[in-house]
């Protein structure tokens, strides 16, 4: 009898196990599912990547305006800007910035404008963050470069500022910086400048122009010149002010030339207070608007600060 009871208990236990499986009971210990990294997050090309690998198609440092890496492509008017249009836009601003129709990678000067030392193809400065970022990127490309030793001084200058809009005229620790920039013949220094130009100024300008529905290359060129002269945020503020003033943008039906003319007027008035001499660069663009060269068909003459340049898109 006792043996039968033991057998019965064993049979009940076995039946209970099968019943539990069929009822859909889940294990008491939770299963840890690791969420895969999201590889589809949008990339903001105006922000510098942490690891800036040298793009293959920028190894030729003489190919200036024609450099557009895969992670830097931005669209304007529904398409990627052609190298010809980009070359023209960059050449016009180079004339305004460096009084030259070709890139001067070794330009360096203390202009006394409160931004420290201005240097390079687009007027990077030691007092407004972008100069330091350029030297740091250059040092990634060539750790043994002659300018890397200035990074601690540049870091100290940046640390003294309160926000991204602040600037400094402090050049402590940069006593030989100008002469060393002028003497630097490293092709990687040129490559670094082109990369940073796109990241900080060109790509943001194209995005702003595209966001307002601009179709004319002259509008893009003027916005790019504002980004270089006033910073991306300053340029966006100017555009937003005109959008509010006119009640819209070309994308919403405002005549593009009317929008651009109002933008020129606004910038002219601002420069009249902040940088009176700088008003002439607005006049230079306005002459093209008045002449009807909205698409910037090259070659054409571009007069700024009393000098006339032949703009053909070739800034090499």
Q: Establish whether 97 is a catalytic residue.
A: yes
> Which of the following is catalytic: 44, 109, 113, 290?
113
Q: Where do the H-state alpha helices sit in 48-173?
A: 83-98, 130-141, 151-159
Q: Which residues contact 307 (CB under 8 A, 6 or more apart)?
A: 95, 99
Q: Please, which residues have CB within 8 angstroms of residue 68's CB and are 6 or more apart in sequence?
A: 80, 83, 86, 198
Question: DSSP 3-state assignment of 175?
Answer: coil
56 is catalytic: no
CA dist., res. 288 & res. 221, Å (int): 11
Distance CA 231, CA 163 (A): 14
The whole-angstrom separation of Cα 84 and Cα 66 is 8
Q: How far apart are CA 89 and CA 91, in angstroms?
A: 5
Q: Helix, strand or coil for residue 109?
A: strand
> Which of the residues are catalytic?
97, 113
């Amino acid at each position: 009898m006792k043996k039968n009871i033991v057998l019965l208990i064993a049979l009940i236990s076995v039946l209970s196990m099968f019943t539990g499986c069929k009822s859909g009971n889940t294990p008491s210990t939770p299963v840890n599912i690791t969420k895969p990294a999201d590889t589809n997050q949008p990339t903001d090309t105006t922000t510098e990547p942490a690891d800036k690998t040298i793009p293959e198609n920028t190894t030729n440092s003489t190919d200036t305006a024609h450099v557009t890496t895969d992670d830097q492509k931005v669209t304007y008017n529904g398409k990627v800007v052609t190298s010809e249009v980009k070359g023209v836009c960059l050449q016009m601003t180079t004339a305004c910035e460096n009084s030259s129709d070709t890139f001067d990678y070794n330009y360096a000067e203390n202009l006394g404008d409160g931004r420290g030392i201005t240097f390079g193809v687009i007027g990077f400065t030691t007092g407004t963050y972008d100069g330091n970022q350029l030297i740091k990127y250059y040092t990634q490309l060539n750790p043994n470069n002659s300018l890397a030793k200035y990074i601690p001084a540049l870091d100290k200058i940046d640390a003294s500022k309160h926000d991204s809009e602040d600037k400094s005229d402090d050049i402590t620790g940069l006593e030989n910086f100008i002469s060393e920039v002028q003497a630097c013949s490293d092709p990687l220094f040129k490559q670094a400048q082109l990369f940073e130009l796109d990241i900080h100024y060109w790509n943001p300008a194209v995005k702003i122009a595209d966001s307002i529905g601009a179709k004319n290359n002259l509008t893009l060129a003027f916005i790019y010149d504002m980004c270089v002269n006033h910073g991306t945020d300053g340029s966006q503020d100017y555009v937003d002010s005109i959008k509010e003033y006119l009640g819209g943008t070309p994308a919403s039906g405002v005549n593009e030339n009317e929008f651009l003319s109002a933008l020129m007027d606004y910038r002219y008035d601002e420069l009249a207070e902040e940088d009176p001499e700088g008003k002439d660069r607005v006049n230079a663009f306005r002459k093209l608007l008045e002449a009807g060269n909205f698409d910037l068909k090259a070659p054409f003459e571009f007069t700024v600060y009393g000098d006339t340049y032949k703009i053909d898109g070739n800034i090499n």
